[in-house]
Amino acid sequence: MRVLLRIIAFCSLTILAAPVQFIFLMVFPIGARWLPVFYFRILLWCFGVRVVLHGDRPSDQTLIVSNHISWLDILVLGAQRPLHFVAKAEISGWPLFGQMAKLHRTIFIDRTRRHQARSHNASIVSRLDKGDCLVLFPEGTSSDGLRVLPFKSALFAAVMPRSGEMQYPVQPVSMLYTRKSGLAMGRRQRAAYGWYGDTELIPHLLYVLKSPPITIELYYHTVPNENVAGHRKALAQYCEGMVRDGIEQILLQGLAPVQENG
């Protein structure tokens, strides 16, 4: 019954919101910015997901870099403020989800074509120039939620095109699925919510839809200044370390990480 009700809620809300968003994109830009935020918030409520926030909230013209666990990450981050995602190109061709991503003005990139990196970075810069807040998952894929995969540095060139020159703020975010039915999740439970590797989408969707309420924690780290990294690879490594440290502190202490000095 829980699965059926959540599917009905998702379909009904999407059928109502999609045409409105399409119209907003053409005639009402402010509405197009905020409608997805309320759409994601309602879905989180329907799916029984509670989000706990720590740290400084991101501002406009910021590139958010976060670890990636599941499709739920999109809802969690998108429900906090108007923003847009940088996603792999194949998503654009997915039934329903591809159309939803396009309505949300997602930037699609093909990581297998490295010669297009400059074009991808130009797309990111263009959107940041226009005031958008963007989300990048630098791991390049999702994980089991128990670890942080190495951050790929190519797209960091959008914010640091030259050594020692950071043109836009980059804000690392640590994400962790922490509780289920109010009780702390173990490693096996957290991994069950990760959509990664060869995990099939439909069984994973059904698992999440039938689950009792869960808690996901987000920690917005302090935006680093230009002194922390001399080039894009060092910046990627710094952000990776911040995200990993944040997750480890939440796991070990059950608390938000201590505030860093920028």
What local confidence, expressed as pLDDT, does residue 130 receive?
93
Block means of pLDDT (10 residues each) for the chain, length 262 residues?
A: 91 96 96 96 96 91 94 95 92 87 92 74 92 94 84 90 83 94 87 82 88 94 81 92 90 58 46
What local confidence, expressed as pLDDT, does residue 261 receive?
46
What local confidence, expressed as pLDDT, does residue 115 receive?
64
DSSP H helices in 81-230:
97-103, 117-129, 187-192, 201-209
Measuring CA to CA, which residue among 47, 56, 34, 48 is closest to residue 221?
56
What local confidence, expressed as pLDDT, does residue 260 receive?
52
Structure pTM?
Answer: 0.90
Measuring CA to CA, which residue among 66, 112, 60, 113 is closest to residue 86?
66
What local confidence, expressed as pLDDT, does residue 97 receive?
85
What local confidence, expressed as pLDDT, does residue 101 receive?
93
What is 143-177 written as a DSSP string?
--SSS-PPPP-GGGGGT-SBTTB--S-EEEEEEEE
**Residue the block writes with tokens 């190495």:** 150
Cβ atoms < 10 Å from Cβ of 186: 10
Which tokens hold the place of 169? 């703020």
Q: Rounded distance, CA 112 to CA 109, Å? A: 9
Measuring CA to CA, which residue among 109, 103, 67, 70 is closest to residue 88?
109
Q: What are phi and psi of 249, to 5 degrees?
A: -65, -40
